[in-house]
A and B are shown apart, each in its own frame.
Chain A
Amino acid sequence: MADAMLETIGLSRRFGGLAAVQDVSLAIERGVVHAIVGPNGAGKTTLINLLSGDLKPSAGMVRYKGRDITAWPAHKVAHLGIGRSYQKTNIFRDHSAFENCRLAAQARLPGAFDMLRPARSRADVLSRARQALEQCGLADRAQRRAVDMSYGEQRQLELAMLLASEPELLLLDEPLAGMGPEESARVIDLLKRLAATHTLVMIEHDMDAVFAVAERITVMVNGSVLASDTPAAIRANKAVQEAYLGEAVS
């Protein structure tokens, strides 16, 4: 592993008797698009939750740039530059698209605790929010209330918020879920552009998209890692074909 940015060592999480994530040791290299695939219930989202600090592991360790962050709360993890998006759209429904991104942009700046100056006077925050909306193709939707946007637009807003908070490492939980082909294409395009400057970890069911952008693929089954390798090697992997990909590749 040349340059592991994010590393897990023997990471496990049980819910009662269920081992949702079991002894997962992964190294996410800097600048790489790392896809996590697997059937429903494989523990992919739980793994993301463990990486983002939303959940604490039952055992094992998470290391970011060599630092043990296993016990860190989610908001501190975010300040390290690890941002996440959600599979189930998780936005501020009654806020405008712009305010959604503005809040996200404000989060990581010093002065979020500022009680005197108007929030909308921070030029740096405003431009970051605007930029994020543009990147996600939502510039003309800025003043629309999030709840009034189409489902696909809400999914894009989810991404825009993530970008507005300027993470170095993005944890994307099914960024394409529920999107139409046109929106999908635009987001895949965006992900490719982001890949040049960011490290991406993404859960995705759309295998075409995965093979289009991923440089490494980890296959999870029943909470454990079945294989973790380059796309070509994963395609050729017999065990993976049997367990998951099946006819999707053939």
Chain B
Amino acid sequence: MPSYSRVTLVLLALGFAALALFPLVGETFYIRFFTKIMIYALFAMSLDLLVGYAGLVSLGHAAFFGVATYTVAGFIDKLGIADGFLILPAALAVAAICAAVIGWISIRTTGVYFIMITLALAQMLYYFFNDQLYWGGTDGMNISAKPLLALGGFTLVDLSNRVQFYYTALACLVTAFVMLSVLLRSPFGHALVGIRANEGRMRSLGYDVQRYKLVAFVVAGALAGLAGFLESSRATFATPAYLGWHESGHALMIVILGGMGTLYGPILGAFVLLLMEDYFATLTERWLLIEGLFVMAVALLMPEGLAGLPRRIAALRRRAPENGDG
């Protein structure tokens, strides 16, 4: 249930405003890089709905991200259709359908079994694309064009323009954030949080727990699909790696690092993690080691993630005067 404090709201508004102004001053490299970061933030945010609110720790979330990238590739390079207004809903639908099927099976289990079954089912999809030459096998597919977002010959958004793409990604991120905030404030959102807290009691109160979980799973899957649509349009390729457990784990890492159950935490997490990866990679080939240590340190020292920092600092400041008196 996000009921953001006034301070958080101001910080959020400032953050989004800074992102909106960034292309005016940022270097080309960073405009591109931030676009990618926002896409991964969106992806991680969709996972936060499951992990942070519904209490469903999925290790197969990348599958929905990945099938959307292949949907874009399929439309453009297999069917020869580049109309973005066709591709986008199709990508969302494919991701949502996959999420419905995988979710329907997975929600019958809980805890570690849920983690394992989402992992297993997602890996099946991974191997489906990895092992089929039609889809380019391990190499994946290059996408020869970007989806066209045009109405009656007039281009609304030109995705090959990096600044326009940047704002598209930002708009998607903000829209998803607002949408999920509304959803979590609704009776549905409160019920999800209740299910995470005490599933049995929710059931005996009359909540159809399985249905709530499935709907949350499909919503999260569709949003991951939106991120996948953006990512394949940005990178102009689709690869099996997009569906793999590595990608799922990476998203989970962003959520934990940023702070789960906050929605904005994953945005923070995505910026910190991806910028850090970029920086560490310039220092040493063994950058994954540093990253691992960093994420472990955050998880151990700040269980609420980076999003919990302001509250921690506020708590320290409240305590400080008392210490001064004593």
B1 neighbours in A (Cβ, 8 Å): 119
B197 neighbours in A (Cβ, 8 Å): 92-95
Q: Does A118 contact B (CB under 8 A)?
A: yes
Binds B, one of A26-34, A103-111, A215-223: A103-111
> Are A107 and B190 in contact, with the CB atoms below 8 A?
no
A116 neighbours in B (Cβ, 8 Å): 182, 186
> Are A90 and B186 in contact, with the CB atoms below 8 A?
no
- Interface positions of B (Cβ within 8 A of A): 1, 182-183, 185-191, 194, 197-198, 200-209, 215
> Are A92 and B201 in contact, with the CB atoms below 8 A?
yes
- 23 A-B interface contacts by CB (under 8 A): A54-B200, A75-B204, A75-B205, A75-B207, A75-B208, A78-B203, A78-B206, A79-B206, A83-B205, A90-B198, A103-B191, A106-B187, A106-B191, A112-B187, A114-B186, A115-B189, A116-B186, A117-B187, A118-B185, A122-B187, A125-B187, A161-B205, A165-B205
Counting chain A CB atoms within 10 Å of each CB, the highest count among B183, B190, B206, B208 belongs to B206
* A116 to B189 Cα, complex, angstroms: 10
Given A122-B187, A161-B205, 15 other A-B residues pairs in contact with their CB atoms under 8 A: A74-B204, A75-B206, A78-B206, A83-B205, A84-B204, A90-B201, A91-B198, A91-B201, A99-B190, A103-B205, A106-B187, A107-B207, A113-B187, A115-B189, A119-B1
Q: Which of B182, B188, B203, B204 contacts A112 (CB 8 A)?
A: B188
> Are A112 and B191 in contact, with the CB atoms below 8 A?
yes
Q: Which of A83, A86, A119 contacts B190 (CB 8 A)?
A: A119
B200 neighbours in A (Cβ, 8 Å): 54, 90
* A122 to B188 Cα, complex, angstroms: 13
Known contacts: A54-B204, A108-B206. The answer to whether A114 contacts B187 by CB under 8 A is yes
Q: Which of A79, A111, A112, A119 contacts B185 (CB 8 A)?
A: A119
A106 neighbours in B (Cβ, 8 Å): 187, 190-191
> Are B198 and A119 in contact, with the CB atoms below 8 A?
no
A118 neighbours in B (Cβ, 8 Å): 185-186
A119 neighbours in B (Cβ, 8 Å): 1, 185-187, 189-190
A-B contact number at CB 8 A: 92
Number of interface residues of A (CB under 8 A): 38
* A87 to B14 Cα, complex, angstroms: 50
* A102 to B34 Cα, complex, angstroms: 41
Counting chain A CB atoms within 10 Å of each CB, the highest count among B197, B198, B201 belongs to B201
* A138 to B6 Cα, complex, angstroms: 30
User: Shortest beta-carbon distance, A76 to chain B, in Å?
Assistant: 8
> Are A117 and B191 in contact, with the CB atoms below 8 A?
no
> Are A115 and B205 in contact, with the CB atoms below 8 A?
no
A75 neighbours in B (Cβ, 8 Å): 203-209
Known contacts: A92-B194, A92-B197, A103-B194. The answer to whether A78 contacts B205 by CB under 8 A is yes
> Are B201 and A112 in contact, with the CB atoms below 8 A?
no
* A84 to B191 Cα, complex, angstroms: 19
A122 neighbours in B (Cβ, 8 Å): 187
B202 neighbours in A (Cβ, 8 Å): 103, 107
* A88 to B206 Cα, complex, angstroms: 19
Q: Does A52 contact B (CB under 8 A)?
A: yes
* A229 to B198 Cα, complex, angstroms: 37
B185 neighbours in A (Cβ, 8 Å): 118-120
The 6 closest A-B pairs by CB, nearest first: A78-B206, A107-B206, A107-B205, A119-B190, A119-B187, A115-B188
B187 neighbours in A (Cβ, 8 Å): 106, 111-115, 117, 119, 122, 125
Query: Which residue on B lies nearest to A161, using beta carbons?
Result: B205
User: Shortest beta-carbon distance, A117 to chain B, in Å?
Assistant: 6
Chain A 130-143 interface 0/1 with B at a Cβ cutoff of 8 Å (1 = within): 00000000000000
* A99 to B206 Cα, complex, angstroms: 16
> Are B207 and A112 in contact, with the CB atoms below 8 A?
yes
B206 neighbours in A (Cβ, 8 Å): 75, 78-79, 107-108, 165
* A90 to B215 Cα, complex, angstroms: 25
